[in-house]
Amino acid sequence: SKSPLASKSSKSKKHKDKDDDNDFEEFGIGDSEEGEVDENIKAKSEHWQVFLQMQERIKQNVLKTQTSIGKLAS
């Protein structure tokens, strides 16, 4: 439950930074596009972390099931 809150706060900061960057966009200094890419990468890596954790949990459950089946069989 912590990560969504954290991502929300970081996003709101990003938007503030973007507004500041807009002042420089006419000079070609603004990097709002890079910021968006960073957000996408962050989101993807967060999803990947969740996915890996889920996979790990499934592996552990499978092992538990296998050991309990083994106990029943013996």
How confident is residue 38, by pLDDT bands cut at 50, 70 and 90?
confident
DSSP alpha helices (H): ranges in 1-74? 2-22, 32-73
Range of the domain at 51: 2-73
pLDDT at 1: 45
Question: Which pTM does this prediction carry?
Answer: 0.44
- The model's pLDDT over 11-29, given as tens digits with 9 standing for 90+, comes to 555 555 555 555 555 555 5
Tell me which residue of 26, 24, 28, 44 sits closest to 36, measured CA to CA.
44
**CA-angle at 37, arms to 40 and 8, nearest 5°:** 50
